[in-house]
Chains A and B, each alone.
Chain A
Amino acid sequence: MGIEGVGARVARKEDKRFITGAGRYVDDMVVPGMKHAVFVRSPHAHAQIKKIDVRQAQGMPGVIGVLTGKELKADGIGNLICGWMIHSKDGSPMKMGAWSPLAVDKVRYVGDAVVVVVAETKAQARDAAEAVDITYKELKAVVDATKALEKGAPQIHAEAEDNLIFDWEIGDAKATDAAIKAAAHVTRMKIVNNRLVPNAMEPRAALGHYDKAEDHFTCWTTSQNPHVARLVMSAFYNVAPENKLRVIAPDVGGGFGSKIYIYPEEIVCLWASKKTGVPVKWVADRTESFLSDAHGRDHVSMVEMAFDKDNRITGLKVDTIANLGAYMSLFSSCVPTYLYATLLSGQYDIPAIHANVRTVYTNTAPVDAYRGAGRPEATYLLERTMEAAARELGVSPAELRRKNFITSFPHQTPVIMNYDAGDYGASLDAAMKTADYAGFAGRKAAAAKQGKLRGIGMSCYIEACGIAPSAAVGSLGAGVGLWESAEVRVNAVGTIEVLTGSHSHGQGHETTFAQLVNQRLGVPIDSVSIVHGDTDKVQMGMGTYGSRSGAVGMSAVAKALDKVEAKAKKIAAHLLEADEGDIVIENGALKVAGTDKNVPWFQVALAAYTAHNLPAGMEPGLKETAFYDPANFTFPAGCYICEVEIDPETGTTEIVQFVAADDFGNIINPMIVEGQVHGGIAQGIGQALLEGAHYDAGGQLLTASYMDYTMPRAGDLPSFKVSTSNTPCPSNPLGIKGCGEAGAIGSPPAVINAITDAIGIPDIAMPASPSTVWAAIRAAKKH
C-alpha cells in the first residue's frame, strides 16, 4: 500500500469545497429565468377531491401557473410505479394502486401532492398556494397496518381488497412446523420495528428546465441514482425520451435510501417547466420532507424460534405485517421480502426457516428502503429473539450465539442466500474483548451502589450487500439489473478521469475511487478526477444504495483498469522493445521486470495519443469501459456490544460504551469506513432510543419537525469503539463487502438488549425514550 493507495487513511479530496462553503447542492443552482414551485398538499389522510378552485391563486402577485393533476394527466404523464414485482403465495401479482404525481380524484395521506403553484419568488408561490381552494369529502383513515387488514377497514385503493398488497412466503413451512413441534424449547416473541423518517440533512429538491429550442429537458435533483431516475421518468412516467432528458445529481446532502426513489415533485417540475415556459425549482421544507419523503421500517412480527436439548436452533417461523403506506414506492416491495426474509438465518446454522409477509396499504407516507432496508428488521427480530432465548434457557447470550454460528463456507441458508465468507467468532471475540465483557458484573455492581441500573447487550448481525447479481434479482422480480459501469479515460499527459455510475452523497468516492487508480497505476490521486452524477457525462449506471459502490462500482472500475493496464503494457513493451509479459507498473512507470529499462506513465499516455509509434494495428487512445455484474451478494457481518446506565428516577438511558467489531472484507480507506460505521450506529441508536414517526388515529403526522421528531444530537451519543477484521469477499475482484449500512443494522438490538438487561424485563418498545423506560421500570417493580 502506497501513501495514497488501497488501505491508506487518505484525507478526502472533496472536503475542500464543503469546508469552504463551495459545495453545489440543488438548492444552490440558479438557471436564468428560474421560478419557484410550491406544492399544495392534502391536509387530510383520506378524502375525495370534490372541487379544485385555482382562480384566486392565479390572480395573485407573481403567479405564473397553478397546475392540477387533471392537466398533468391530459398531457399524458404516467403514474408512479413500484419496480419490483412480488407475487403472493397464491400466484397473484402484487396489487399496485394508482399513484398520480398530482392527486386527481382522491388523496390518501397527509402530504399527498394535489396542486403545484409556480411564481416569481418562493414567498409568492407560498402565498398563492394558501389561496388554492380545494373542497374535500373526508373519508375514514387507517394508519396501523394490522388494523388496515381488518374487515370493514377503510379501503384505500380499489385495486387492493382489504388493503392487502401481497401475501408472500419463503422457506419450508412444513419442515419449520415440524421443528417447532419437536423442539425442547421454543422462544416466542412479538417484535415491533418502529417507523422512522430518514432525514438526510439536505431536504429533497428538484429543478426542471425545458429547453424549447432543443426540445430537451434537464433535471437537477437530489438523487442517489440519476440514471435510474432518467430511465424511470422516460420509460414509465412519459416525461421525455431518454435522449431528450438529462438528469444531474450534483452534491447531494445525504440520502440513506430516501433519495433512491423518483418522487412526484421532480416529474412535476419538469412537466411544469414545459407548461409554463420557465425553469421551475422546488425545494422541500423540513416539514414537507417529514410528510412526503419515503419512511422506513414499520414492521410487526410474530416469531417462534425452536431449540433442541443442546440449545441448537432447529427452526425459525416468522409472520410479518409490513406497512407500505399510501402508495407503493419504487422499491417498496423488495424491502420486506428479498432484503428482509432472506437474511433471517442471521449468522446461524438454522436447518428450517419459514417466513410469511403481508404488505399493507395505510393512510401514511409511502414506506421504502431506509439505511439497511429489511436487514435491520431481520437483525432486530433475530437478535432480540436470541437474547430472549438465552435468558429463558439460562445460558450466556454470547455462548448461545457462538454455539449456533455458521463456521464453514460457502453456506447455503434455507432462505436463498449463499454466504461466501466470514468468521463470526472472530468478531464476537474482538467485541467482547474491547468491551471488557468479563468485567461487566463488577461495573453493574458499582453502578447499583450509585442507584443506577446497568445493562449490557450484544447483537451479531449479517447483511447482504453489493447489490446485486442481475440475473438473480431478475428472477426474483426486479425490473432492473444491478450491475455497475465505469469508464477510465487516460488523458494525453497521463491524468485520468474515472466515470462511474455510482453516486457519492457523503461516501467519499472522489477519494476512494482515486485510491484504487493510484494503487493500480501509481498516478497521484490529485491527478485522478472522479466524474459521477450526470447522465450526459456517464452513459449509464445504477447508483448508490445497498452498500454497493465499493463492491460493485469499484469492481467495474477495476475491470476497466485491467483493460487500460493491458493496453498500456502493450505500448510500453513496444517502446522498450521488450516482451509484453515482462512489463510491470511500479512508481508511476512501466518497467521491464528485473531491469532498469522503463518508460514513465505519462509518456505511455502521450504515445497512445500521438500514435506516432504504436504496435502494428493498435487503435490510438487510452480509454476503456467496463460493466461489472456481481457473481453474488456480499455478506458483511459483525458483533456490536452496547452498555447502558439508566437513571431509574428519570428513565434516562446513557450509553456508557458502544463497541463495533465488523468484517467488511478488504478496505480501501479505513478512515472513511470508520466514518460510515459511526454514522450508521448513530442512526441505529436513534431508532432504539429517540426516533419514531407517530401518526394519530386520523392520520396526522405528529412528528413532522425537529421540534417533535427526536434526531440524535451530539449529547445523546458517546464516542464509539470501532474495529474491523477481514475475511476477503471471494465474490468480487477487490474482496470488498461494503460498510455503508452495518451500523444501522447491528445497533438497535444491542441497545434494546442492554436496556432490557438493565431493567430485567423481556421487552421494551422502540424508541425506548425516558418516559417509556421510566414506565417500564415502574411496571417491573409492581410485578
Chain B
Amino acid sequence: MSDVSFVVNGRRVSGTAEDRTLLVHFLRENLGLTGTHVGCDTSQCGACVVHVDGRAVKSCSMLAAQASGSAVTTIEGLANGSDLHPVQAAFKEHHGLQCGFCTPGMIMTATDMISRHPEGLDEATVRAELDGNICRCTGYHNIVKAILAASKAMSKGVKGRAKQAA
C-alpha cells in the first residue's frame, strides 16, 4: 500500500491506495470525483485528462502515488464557483459536446492547449493538438470551433488585464 497525499482542486487530500492504483481510479473511487472518465485501457482516448501541477496529464498513465505532493485540478475544479471557465462556456455555446463522456478530458486538454499558446490558435494547430483525445459524437467540428472561440476570448481577457495593469 502507498500513502497518497496531494492537493486536488485546492483541497488537501490524503489516503492510502494499493501501489498499482492509477491516479484516475484514486480520483474516482477514493475521492468520488467521477467527472474524470475512463474510456480506454491504452492511454489513447483522453477522457481522463486532468492537470497535474498545471500541465495536462492522462490520469490513467500515472500512479496515484506519483501524484503525491502535486497540485491536481480536475474538471470539477475548473469553474470559479458558479462562473464557468471560458472553455466550459465555449463548449456549451458552440455545442462542443453531445453525450458528454469525452467532454471533461476535452475541456482539460483544451485549457492546457490554450495556456501553452498565448499567441492564439488556428484550426490546424487545434486539430493536431487534439490527437490524444477521441470523441465519437461530434466529428470534432464544434469542439474545434469552441476551442478557437475560447482561445480568442481568453487572449482578449489577458490583453484586457495587461492593459489595466499598465
Contacts and interface: CB of A to CB of B under 8 A. Distances in A.
A717 B92 contact: no
Interface string B111-143: 000000000000100111011011111111111
A19 B36 CA distance: 11
Contact of B42 (A14, A706, A720): A706
B23 to A, nearest CB: 15
B128 A18 contact: no
Question: What is the predominant secondary structure among interface residues of chain B facing chain A?
Answer: loop
Interface in B71-102: 74-76, 78-79, 84, 88, 91-93, 95, 97-102
Nearest to A371: B136
Interface in A473-510: 505-508
B20 A123 contact: yes
B47 interface: yes
B20 A21 contact: no
A550 to B, nearest CB: 15
Contact of A286 (B32, B40, B102, B104): B40
A674 B136 CA distance: 15
B35 A717 contact: no
Contacts of B20: 123
Interface string B134-166: 111111111111000000000000000000000
A203 interface: yes
Interface of A: 11-12, 14-25, 27-28, 30, 123, 199-203, 251-254, 256, 283, 285-287, 505-508, 671-672, 674-675, 678-683, 705-707, 711-715, 717, 719-720, 743
B125 to A, nearest CB: 10
A14 B28 CA distance: 22
Contact of A201 (B47, B88, B91): B47
B63 interface: no
Given A203-B39, A675-B141, A711-B136, 19 more contacts: A15-B91, A15-B100, A20-B35, A21-B33, A21-B104, A23-B100, A27-B38, A201-B45, A201-B101, A251-B100, A253-B101, A254-B99, A678-B139, A678-B141, A705-B40, A705-B41, A707-B42, A713-B134, A715-B127
Nearest to A29: B34
A201 B95 contact: no
Contact of A711 (B47, B134, B143, B145): B134
Contact of A719 (B39, B42, B104, B123): B123
Contact of B138 (A24, A25, A251, A679): A679
Nearest to A285: B41
Contacts of A11: 92-93, 95
A20 B92 contact: no
B136 A679 contact: yes
B42 A717 contact: no
Contacts of A12: 92, 95
Contacts of A199: 136
B95 A672 contact: yes
A557 to B, nearest CB: 21
A81 to B, nearest CB: 28
B136 A20 contact: no
8 contacts: A20-B75, A24-B34, A25-B101, A27-B28, A201-B101, A252-B99, A254-B137, A720-B141
Contact of B39 (A16, A23, A201, A682): A201
Given A15-B91, A21-B34, A705-B40, A717 B98 contact: no
Point out which of A253, A287, A683, A705 has the most chain B C-beta atoms below 10 A from its C-beta.
A253
B130 A714 contact: yes
Contacts of B38: 27, 203, 283
A679 B45 contact: no
Contacts of B99: 200-202, 251-254, 505-506
Nearest to B124: A715
Contact of A18 (B42, B103, B138, B139): B103
Point out which of B32, B92, B93, B141 has the most chain A C-beta atoms below 10 A from its C-beta.
B141
A707 B40 CA distance: 10
A507 B97 CA distance: 10
B58 interface: no
B107 interface: yes
Contacts of A707: 42, 44
Given A11-B92, A705-B40, A719-B123, A19 B142 contact: no
Contacts of A27: 28, 34, 37-38
Given A202-B99, A714-B140, A714-B143, A20 B76 contact: yes
B97 A19 contact: yes
Point out which of B34, B47, B74 has the most chain A C-beta atoms below 10 A from its C-beta.
B34
Contacts of A22: 35, 76
B18 interface: yes
B84 A19 contact: yes
B42 A286 contact: yes
Counting contact residues on chain B (CB < 8 A from A), the size range is 35 or more
Contacts of A201: 37, 39, 45, 47, 99, 101-102, 134-137
A685 to B, nearest CB: 8
Given A28-B34, A200-B99, A202-B101, A706 B131 contact: no
A19 B107 CA distance: 8
Nearest to A201: B101
Contacts of B18: 123
Contacts of B42: 286, 705-707
Interface string B32-76: 111111111110110100000000000000000000000000111
A20 B138 CA distance: 18
Nearest to B18: A123
Given A21-B74, A28-B34, A123-B18, A682 B134 contact: no
Closest 9 A-B residue pairs measured CB to CB? A21-B35, A253-B101, A18-B100, A682-B139, A506-B99, A21-B75, A706-B44, A506-B98, A678-B139
Contacts of A251: 99-100
Point out which of B76, B99, B127 has the most chain A C-beta atoms below 10 A from its C-beta.
B99
A123 B139 CA distance: 34
Point out which of A18, A25, A123, A674 has the most chain B C-beta atoms below 10 A from its C-beta.
A18
Contacts of B142: 675, 678
Contact of B136 (A21, A28, A30, A256): A256
A199 B103 CA distance: 16
Contacts of B34: 21, 24-25, 27-28
A50 B134 CA distance: 41
Given A21-B34, A675-B98, A679-B136, A714 B127 contact: yes
Interface in B1-26: 18, 20
A20 B135 CA distance: 17
Contacts of B39: 201-203, 286
A25 B101 CA distance: 8
Given A11-B92, A705-B41, A715-B127, A679 B107 contact: no
Contacts of B123: 719
A743 B141 CA distance: 13
Contacts of A706: 40, 42, 44-45, 134
Contacts of B32: 30
A182 to B, nearest CB: 45
Nearest to B88: A19
A23 B134 CA distance: 18
B84 to A, nearest CB: 7
Contacts of A682: 136, 138-140
B45 to A, nearest CB: 6
Contacts of B107: 19
Contacts of B91: 15, 19
A507 B37 CA distance: 20
A679 B137 contact: yes
A705 B39 CA distance: 11
B40 A15 contact: no
A353 B97 CA distance: 42
Contacts of A720: 139, 141
A252 B100 CA distance: 9
B144 A202 contact: no
B98 A507 contact: yes
